[in-house]
Structure 1
Amino acid sequence: MSGKTILVWFRKDLRIHDNEILAEAVRKGDRIVPVYCFDPRQFEMTSFQIMKTGLIRTRFLLESVADLRDSFKRAGGDLIIKFGKPEIILPELVAKYQANEVYHHREVASEETRVSADVENALWKLKINLKHFIGHTLYHKEDLPFPINSIPDVFTSFRKKVERDGSVRACHETPGKMNFPENLESSKLPNLSDFGFDEHVPTDERSVMKFYGGETEALKRMQDYFWVTNAVQNYKQTRNGLLGSDYSSKFSAWIALGCLSPREVYWEIKKYDQVHGSGDSTYSLYLELLWRDYFRFMFKKYGNKFFQKIGFKGVAPEESENQQELFELWKNAETGIPFIDANMKELNATGFMSNRGRQNVASFLVKDLKVNWMWGASYFEEKLIDYCPANNWGNWAYIAGVGNDPREYRYFNVLKQAMEYDPQGDYVRLWIPELSKVPGAGVHQPWNLSQAEQSEYQLISYLTAPPYTPELVFLKK
Structure 2
Amino acid sequence: MLNMPRVKSRPVGGRAICDGCLPPRRAAAEHSEECGRMAWTLRRDIDRETWKHNGHGKNTVTRKQWACSWPPSTPPVLMLSSRGSKFFSSGGSHLLASGGMHKPGVGVRQMQVMASKDGIGQKKGRQGSGTAVMWFRNDLRVSDNEALLRAWQTSSAVLPVYCLDPRVFSTTYHFGFPKTGELRAQFILESVADLRKNLQKRGLDLVIRVGKPEEIVPNLAQAVGAHTVFGHKETTSEETGVEGRLKGRLAKVEVSSEIPGKSVRNPQLDLVWGGTLYHIDDLPFTPNELPDVYTQFRKGCETKSKIRPAIKMPQQMGPLPDSLEKTGGCGPLPVLADVGLTPREQSPLGVMPFVGGETAGLARLQDYFWAKDKVREYKETRNGMLGADYSTKFSPWLAHGCITPRIICDELRKYEAERVANQSTYWVLFELLWRDYFRFLSIKYGNSIFYLGGPRNVKGLRWSQDKLLFEAWRDGKTGYPLIDANMKELAATGFMSNRGRQIVCSFLVRDMGLDWRLGAEWFETCLLDYDPCSNYGNWTYGAGVGNDPREDRYFSIPKQAQTYDPDGEYVAHWLPQLKNLPKAARHYPKDAYLRPVVPLRFGQPPRNQPSSGQGRGQGHGRGRKPAFRRN
Normalised to the residue count of structure 2, the TM-score between the two structures is 0.71
CA displacement 1:251-298 (0-9 Å, x = unmatched):
000000000011010111111111123210011110111000000000
In the other structure, the counterpart of 2:214 is: 87
Shift of 1:172: 1.1
1:165 equivalenced with 2:304 (yes/no): yes
Alpha carbons of structure 1 residues 61 and 408: separation in structure 2 relative to 1, 3 Å? closer
CA displacement 1:57-83 (0-9 Å, x = unmatched):
000000000000111222233100111
Aligned runs of 1:383-398 on 2, under 5 Å? 383-398=526-541
CA displacement 1:158-206 (0-9 Å, x = unmatched):
111110001111211122211211343221112122222223x233111
Counterpart residue identity of residue 60, structure 1: F
Match of 2:586, SS state, is helix
In the other structure, the counterpart of 1:263 is: 406
Aligned runs of 1:66-81 on 2, under 5 Å? 66-81=193-208
Question: Which of 467, 472, 478 does residue 324 from structure 1 map onto?
Answer: 467
Aligned runs of 1:346-357 on 2, under 5 Å? 346-357=489-500
CA displacement 1:105-142 (0-9 Å, x = unmatched):
00011101111111111111222210010011111111
> How many angstroms apart in 2 are the aligned matches of 1:321 and 1:234?
41
Counterpart residue identity of residue 331, structure 2: S
> How many angstroms apart in 2 are the aligned matches of 1:275 and 1:112?
41
Match of 1:100, SS state, is strand
Shift of 1:322: 5.8
1:131 equivalenced with 2:270 (yes/no): yes
> How many angstroms apart in 2 are the aligned matches of 1:151 and 1:77?
40
Aligned runs of 1:45-194 on 2, under 5 Å? 45-47=171-173, 48-126=175-253, 127-178=266-317, 179-184=319-324, 185-194=329-338
CA displacement 1:340-394 (0-9 Å, x = unmatched):
0000000000000000000000110011101110111011001000001100000
Q: Is the 8 A contact 2:183 2:345 kept in 1?
A: no
4+ runs deviating over 3 angstroms: 316-322
Aligned runs of 1:209-220 on 2, under 5 Å? 209-220=352-363
> How many angstroms apart in 1 are the aligned matches of 2:193 and 2:376?
33
1:473 equivalenced with 2:616 (yes/no): no
Unaligned runs of 5+ in 1: 448-453
Instruction: Between 347-356 and 184-193, report the one with greater CA deviation.
Output: 184-193
Alpha carbons of structure 1 residues 320 and 102: separation in structure 2 relative to 1, 3 Å? closer
Match of 1:104, SS state, is strand
Question: Which of 329, 342, 347 does residue 198 from structure 1 map onto?
Answer: 342
Match of 1:131, SS state, is strand
Alpha carbons of structure 1 residues 317 and 103: separation in structure 2 relative to 1, 3 Å? farther
> How many angstroms apart in 1 are the aligned matches of 2:459 and 2:470?
17
Counterpart residue identity of residue 215, structure 1: E
Match of 2:550, SS state, is coil
> Relative to total residues, which structure has the larger helix share, 1 or 2?
1
Counterpart residue identity of residue 340, structure 2: G
> How many angstroms apart in 2 are the aligned matches of 1:407 and 1:17?
39
Question: Which of 372, 376, 385 does residue 515 from structure 2 map onto?
Answer: 372
In the other structure, the counterpart of 1:285 is: 428
Q: How high is the sequence identity, in percent, across the aligned residues?
A: 48
Q: Is the 8 A contact 1:204 1:349 kept in 2?
A: yes
Match of 1:474, SS state, is coil
Question: Which of 133, 137, 143 does residue 11 from structure 1 map onto?
Answer: 137
> How many angstroms apart in 1 are the aligned matches of 2:584 and 2:535?
31
> How many angstroms apart in 2 are the aligned matches of 1:305 and 1:208?
36
Q: Is the 8 A contact 1:323 1:369 kept in 2?
A: no
In the other structure, the counterpart of 1:451 is: none
1:402 equivalenced with 2:545 (yes/no): yes
Question: Which of 444, 448, 454 does residue 587 from structure 2 map onto?
Answer: 444
> How many angstroms apart in 2 are the aligned matches of 1:354 and 1:256?
15
In the other structure, the counterpart of 1:38 is: 164
Counterpart residue identity of residue 162, structure 2: Y
> How many angstroms apart in 2 are the aligned matches of 1:63 and 1:319?
42
Counterpart residue identity of residue 402, structure 1: V
Counterpart residue identity of residue 26, structure 1: W
Kindly tell me the number of residue pairs found equivalent between the two proteins. Answer: 458
Alpha carbons of structure 1 residues 322 and 107: separation in structure 2 relative to 1, 3 Å? closer
Alpha carbons of structure 1 residues 408 and 103: separation in structure 2 relative to 1, 3 Å? closer
Question: Which of 447, 455, 464 does residue 312 from structure 1 map onto?
Answer: 455
Q: Is the 8 A contact 1:318 1:370 kept in 2?
A: no
In the other structure, the counterpart of 2:627 is: none
Instruction: Between 367-376 and 273-282, report the one with greater CA deviation.
Output: 273-282
Shift of 1:227: 0.7
Shift of 1:28: 1.6
Q: Identify the structure with bigger relative contact order (alpha carbons < 8 Å, sequence gap 6+).
A: 1
CA displacement 1:295-317 (0-9 Å, x = unmatched):
00000100101010001222257
Question: Which of 446, 469, 473 does residue 303 from structure 1 map onto?
Answer: 446
> How many angstroms apart in 2 are the aligned matches of 1:90 and 1:281?
44
Q: Is the 8 A contact 1:238 1:247 kept in 2?
A: yes
Aligned runs of 1:17-36 on 2, under 5 Å? 17-36=143-162
Shift of 1:441: 2.7
> How many angstroms apart in 2 are the aligned matches of 1:198 and 1:114?
29
> How many angstroms apart in 2 are the aligned matches of 1:322 and 1:36?
38
> How many angstroms apart in 1 are the aligned matches of 2:560 and 2:464?
27
Alpha carbons of structure 1 residues 412 and 58: separation in structure 2 relative to 1, 3 Å? same
Unaligned runs of 5+ in 2: 1-104, 106-127, 254-265, 603-631
Shift of 1:476: 9.5
RMSD (Å), alpha carbons:
1.7
Question: Which of 559, 562, 565 does residue 419 from structure 1 map onto?
Answer: 562
Shift of 1:3: 3.4
Match of 1:444, SS state, is coil
Alpha carbons of structure 1 residues 437 and 318: separation in structure 2 relative to 1, 3 Å? farther
Match of 2:356, SS state, is coil
In the other structure, the counterpart of 1:225 is: 368
Shift of 1:6: 0.4
> How many angstroms apart in 2 are the aligned matches of 1:62 and 1:266?
27
Shift of 1:46: 1.6
Question: Which of 488, 500, 504 does residue 345 from structure 1 map onto?
Answer: 488
> How many angstroms apart in 1 are the aligned matches of 2:397 and 2:287?
26
Shift of 1:442: 1.1
> How many angstroms apart in 2 are the aligned matches of 1:45 and 1:374?
14
Q: Is the 8 A contact 2:376 2:420 kept in 1?
A: no
